[in-house]
Structure 1
């Protein structure tokens, strides 16, 4: 049985996410209220709570939507593990303003928390050469990869993307011994 997506509900969710992102450009996260998010989106609090449990859950949804965009891109391009780092840094360079906002508001850890789930979804691409690992080892490997990619990305963003995505991809392949 397929679940139908309510387009009005999806639009409301998108408006709330966009409102949060706009407010984050104007003021610190801890000064933003749910009422302000709703007002900016032109929606009532009841609608907010239909979709989200907190301000943080809005940001997690934004991160999830970004991952979906990235995942669709790599699926369309039929990328293997060696091409992934370039796609990764190219993608995040386009979203560096958002990452700066997360870092400034001490919310960057939200990205790492989601990474392990994303890597699990991409196991057929990322962990293909390590099929011999046990499930426990694969879980630890995803945790290590997530933390490593998260840290590299943060350092690169804090350096204002001084290195090109190509340079970052090359280093990543060396660091993770993928080449």
Structure 2
């Protein structure tokens, strides 16, 4: 059964995300109101709540779009485990301004919250060298990897991406002993 995408609904959702991104560049997250987001997007509050439950859910949607961009890219390229960290750091470097905004507004944890799900979705692409005894063990491994990737990314962004994506990829491979 295929799901149909309503182009008008998708456009409205995009406008709300774009409005949130614009406001985040102008002022702190805590100062942004849903009414302001709706006004900037040219939409009514009812439309906002048709797509989102809160301002935070708008940020999660933006993060999800960034992940989808990453996932679509790696899906067609057929990267191996040694190439994946470089692709990862190159991808997030393109979005470093957004990540800095999340960090400045104490919202970077939203990214970590999504990571376990992303790793699960990418499991067939990323693979692993080891077999897991059960699904619970696999979930814990994803949680550990998500936390590690999230932490190293945050540190790199805070440092201003001084190290090259290549250097970060090499360190990550060394840390995960891949």
The alignment's TM-score, normalised by the length of structure 2, stands at 0.98
1:34 alignment counterpart = 34
2:8 alignment counterpart = 8
Give the 5 Å matches for 1:38-53: 38-53=38-53
| 1:126 Cα deviation after fit | 2.8
* Rounded Cα–Cα distance in structure 1 between residues aligned with 2:154 and 2:128: 26
Unaligned runs of 5+ in 2: none
Secondary structure of the corresponding residue to residue 15 of structure 1: helix
Regions of 4+ moved over 4 Å: none
| 1:70 Cα deviation after fit | 0.1
1:166 alignment counterpart = 166
| 1:134 Cα deviation after fit | 1.9
Unaligned runs of 5+ in 1: none
Count of aligned pairs: 178
2:76 alignment counterpart = 76
2:149 alignment counterpart = 149
* Conservation of the 8 A alpha-carbon contact between 2:85 and 2:172: yes
Q: CA RMSD in A?
A: 0.8
Residue 118 in 1 paired to residue 90 in 2?
no
* Conservation of the 8 A alpha-carbon contact between 2:119 and 2:146: yes
The alignment's TM-score, normalised by the length of structure 1, stands at 0.97
Residue 101 in 1 paired to residue 101 in 2?
yes
1:63 alignment counterpart = 63
* Rounded Cα–Cα distance in structure 2 between residues aligned with 1:63 and 1:147: 16
* Rounded Cα–Cα distance in structure 2 between residues aligned with 1:52 and 1:160: 32
